[in-house]
Structure 1
Amino acid sequence: MFLVPYRLVRNLMIAAGVLYCSLLLEIAAGFPLDVRNSFLSELGAKDQATSLYARGMDLATAVLLVIAVLLARPAARRHRDVAGLLISTAVFAIGTLFDSLSPMDCAPSISAACRAAESSGQDGFALFVHEATSTLAGLGTIALGIFSVLVLRRFGWGGALGRLVAVLAAGVAVTNVWLGVKTGLEVLTGDELHAPGILQRVSVVLVCLLLAVLLPGLRQAWLR
């Protein structure tokens, strides 16, 4: 009964995983940012040539995930871990959606004027909203990683693919907690915020891969 929705949701998740991988846009654009000292969200800054593409990819990712969650609601009735997985996906999608609608005005990693405006608080509300929505998306990915492992533990690891999902889920949770702690400490202590470029890109790649293999790895939970 759930075979057709499963295939549809699986394909939506795979497409979302591809679209969320903004590293592909960064490569196509010829690495306009310093990968070691920038946030990928700077690709969507209003002053960047990649802005519309980056924001469009995030928006499409969010829409596909919301549709996938709505279609997957029948599966959520089977257990609270599955429900938690879908809610986590929805939180990530909503954070990503508002992230795409609230871009930074400029890219601080490549603009001294932008860094100065950010340091003096002139960016104000726009920067605050962007940071808030990015935090929401980050919390969603952490929860997504945790609930993926919980679902696997309850319904079975599903062979090699299930174990791959577990490894990716753990990586997503760990890297996003690490990102949150690092940036949070710098903000709380008043230190200059140093963009964890490599760490963030690793985290994004892990999220993209997890989205792409999540449904195949959890197929046994869906069809039970």
Structure 2
Amino acid sequence: MMFAAGFGTRMGALTADCPKPLIQVCGVPLIDHTLGLVRMVEPERIVANLHYLPEQLRTHLADTDVRMSHETPDILDTGGGLRHALPLLGEGPVMTTNTDAIWSGPNPFEMALDHWDPDKMDGLLVCVPRAQTLGHAGKGDFHLSQTGQITRGLDVIYGGVQILKTEGLADIPDQSFSLNLLWDQMIRDKRLFGVSYPGKWCDVGNPDGLRLAESLLKESHV
């Protein structure tokens, strides 16, 4: 599941007439950077959610095998958007990803799959130590224990890639809601885990992040 429905307001004028997933980094749309990593793990199906300027994304993805989950009339946030897309995603745990980050290092989807243990996990998040992040102005999101269990804290940033069991979504009454609600329940149940990313990660949420991402990609290809 690729989250591609957001308004991208932090990008200012750049998203006035272009959805953020189509903003280019080194000549390639953000969503295509993500899609390239996704395809390396050969998922059974790929879904993207659409809301803001959907026709542009629909046209861009028209000749691919990506299925599209249209959110209308209202945007549904990450939790509501994932639940809305479940008929397209099918049964079982799903991988989800944001489409506004650039990774330099191992494929985060491969890392998640290598560490996924459904017997003890309801969710597994790929997290990045704060010192290895670029373009992220906020505080950390989680604390990652030596066993990989996650609690709320400031040590690591959630990088936007995860594996998630989706059964708990049915218990949330809201139509539009954040996946934080599901994570908090998993934390209470001691079923939310993380894996620490060893490379660098750039948040492309604003124009400064865009410039940092381009520098990161050029540096990684030297």
TM-score (norm 2): 0.31
Bigger relative contact order, structure 1 or 2, given CA contacts below 8 A and separation 6+?
Answer: 1
Larger Rg: 1
Structure (1 or 2) with the greater strand fraction: 2
TM-score, normalised by the number of residues in structure 1: 0.31
